[in-house]
Amino acid sequence: MKFTKLPTTQSEQPLSSSKFPFADILAPCLHKGTLTQTHYVFPASRPAAVSFQVKLTGAEESFKADFEGARDKWPVANDAFPYGMSGTQWWDYCLAPHSYLALEDGKCQVGLNLFNRFLHLDFNEQSAVLVDPGVGNQLVSTTNWFDHEKGDLWFASWPVEATVRRILNPRGGASVTIWKFSVRSGDSKKVWQGDLGDALHQLCLDPSRRFLVLTELGLRLEEPIPAQSPDQAPRVWEQQVRARGVVPSKILVLDLKTGQEWRLSTLTAGHIEFDPEDPSVCYLSGHNIGLMGVEVGIFGPGIVHKYRLGETGPELLGEFTHERFHRITTHIVFRHRKKTLIGVSGYPGTVFLINAATMKLHGIIEMDSPEKVDTSLSPHVCEQDSYGIDASKDGEALLVAGTGFVRIADINEGRFIFTQTIEGYGSDCCFTGHLGRFVFP
């Protein structure tokens, strides 16, 4: 692996403490058009928020040459980028921070949306580095899995060419490789290779380390976006965009013991969370959203699937959806008063709580939001950023963080009891992913 150190700055601001015992929390923020990102740290040990800013200007060059080379190979226009983005928007999207993975020795891996390098933050040295994983400049999965016992980092990769080809054919596949890399010895091992998709969003192993699950967050529309807005050409949007919706995403379930593999399909596959009581059970999120340039279009309600992983493959145990269940960015699984709950961020301003045993609604906690989602005539284009959630250690409260704010809700009371604004956010800033947990030095 090769390492490139990045410029960083750090600052601190007061943050009122709470009676609820949360873990150390990280929240991602993108500064649009600057290839700069800020990671806000809310340490449980003291009433302060620390902002850790990283500048990635020029980092895109390691990907740009391969992207342009692939575009030259296929009949793709020089100004054509995936999802109908402009060039600046595309590189912003590729390098946007999305998720966090705790490694060893005070290090944390930041999941970037679509890139050929890993971003590692070192909280001991207060530094940031880009890491070349040594897989031939292929793009790498966003959210990965780390074996703390053995020191192995598991991730997936695919050729840049596949992402370029999907500008022309959104249903195209990709040759995917799954890797296991030892951060202690530096050795890498190829675990699996086969056909799947690009935009690989999360790879994880079950607690027994027998089953591997890999999701593809496609976000592609079945039809190109019409040049006119929905107001100018409602029938075109109705027929071309809403009627056909998004390309279904692929999910790989791999039995590492027998080599058997299964493929599932859902609309816009997202993340996997395992049950804290039954490690053979997992919950997969399907979002029913697509990217239209940098805008997120909602095509209908999302869904959370409940599966059991066993020798005969994944068994569907139940599903949850709701008419207001939109853009479900985050879903977490935790214990609350002898029940297992699934907490889900429902756009634009609701937190859904699902009883994991029954897959029925446990409750909804409302946030103030003037935006109303209506997908009856055309895709609803989101007017604001999403947000991330996490549960307190005792399962009594939820922390919600988004663009410039932190809020805490008492689950039993079903309402928010604490709100604070976070300084440092401007009109060019947006919350871009999930809250992360990390034990800080």
User: By the 8 A CB rule, do 435 and 37 touch?
Assistant: no
pLDDT-based confidence at 242, cuts 50/70/90?
A: confident
* CA distance linking residue 169 with residue 224, whole number of Å: 10
Going by C-beta distance under 8 Å and a sequence separation of 6 or more, which residues neighbour residue 371?
348, 349, 382, 383, 384
pLDDT-based confidence at 441, cuts 50/70/90?
A: low
Q: And the tokens for 137?
A: 């400049």
Which whole number is the average pLDDT over 221-242? 82
Q: What pLDDT sits at residue 61?
A: 94
Angle of CA points 116, 387, 46, to nearest 5°? 95
CA distances from 238 to 169, 185, 231 (A): 21, 55, 11
- What is the per-residue pLDDT across 354-389, written as a single tens digit (0 to 9) for each? 999 999 999 999 988 899 999 887 899 999 999 999
User: By the 8 A CB rule, do 179 and 133 touch?
Assistant: yes
* DSSP code at position 7: -
Q: What pLDDT sits at residue 410?
A: 96
* CA distance linking residue 354 with residue 318, whole number of Å: 12
Write down the mean pLDDT value for the chain: 93
* DSSP code at position 426: -
Q: What pLDDT sits at residue 152?
A: 96
| 2-437 maps to CATH 2.130.10.10 | yes
User: By the 8 A CB rule, do 121 and 53 touch?
Assistant: no
Q: And the tokens for 251?
A: 């999910």
- What is the per-residue pLDDT across 31-53, written as a single tens digit (0 to 9) for each? 999 999 999 999 887 788 889 99
Which whole number is the average pLDDT over 281-299? 95
Any idea where the domains of the chain sit in the sequence?
A: 2-437
Which whole number is the average pLDDT over 329-358? 97
Which of residues 335 and 77 earns the better pLDDT score? 335
Q: What pLDDT sits at residue 38?
A: 96
Tell me which of 179-188, 220-229, 300-309 is least confident. 220-229
Assess whether pLDDT exceeds 90 at residue 252.
Answer: yes
Q: What pLDDT sits at residue 230?
A: 79
* CA distance linking residue 310 with residue 313, whole number of Å: 5
Q: What pLDDT sits at residue 425?
A: 86
Q: And the tokens for 195?
A: 């056909």
Identify the H or E element spanning 298.
Answer: strand 295-298
**Burial code of 224-244, b = ≥16 C-beta within 10 A, e = fewer?**
ebeeeebeeeeebbeebbbee
Assess whether pLDDT exceeds 90 at residue 148.
Answer: yes
- What is the per-residue pLDDT across 179-193, written as a single tens digit (0 to 9) for each? 999 988 888 899 999
Of 208, 105, 99, 230, whose CA–CA distance to 155 is shortest?
A: 99
* CA distance linking residue 186 with residue 1, whole number of Å: 7
Q: What pLDDT sits at residue 100?
A: 97
pLDDT-based confidence at 139, cuts 50/70/90?
A: very high
Q: What pLDDT sits at residue 17?
A: 63
* CA distance linking residue 182 with residue 163, whole number of Å: 28
Assess whether pLDDT exceeds 70 at residue 292.
Answer: yes
* CA distance linking residue 115 with residue 133, whole number of Å: 11
User: By the 8 A CB rule, do 311 and 280 touch?
Assistant: no
Which whole number is the average pLDDT over 111-137? 94
Assess whether pLDDT exceeds 80 at residue 420.
Answer: yes
Q: DSSP labels for 77-127?
A: -TT--GGG--HHHHHHHHT-EEEEEE-STTEEEEEESSBSSEEEEETTTTE
Q: What pLDDT sits at residue 110?
A: 98
* Percent of the chain clearing pLDDT 70 (strictly above): 99
CA distances from 388 to 1, 83, 166, 398 (A): 32, 24, 29, 10
Tell me which of 12-26, 154-168, 197-211 is least confident. 12-26
Which whole number is the average pLDDT over 274-279? 97
Across the strands, what pairs with 363?
Answer: 353
Which whole number is the average pLDDT over 83-112? 95
Tell me which of 122-126, 183-187, 350-354 is least confident. 183-187
**Burial code of 304-330, b = ≥16 C-beta within 10 A, e = fewer?**
bbbbebeeeebeeebebbbeebbbbbb
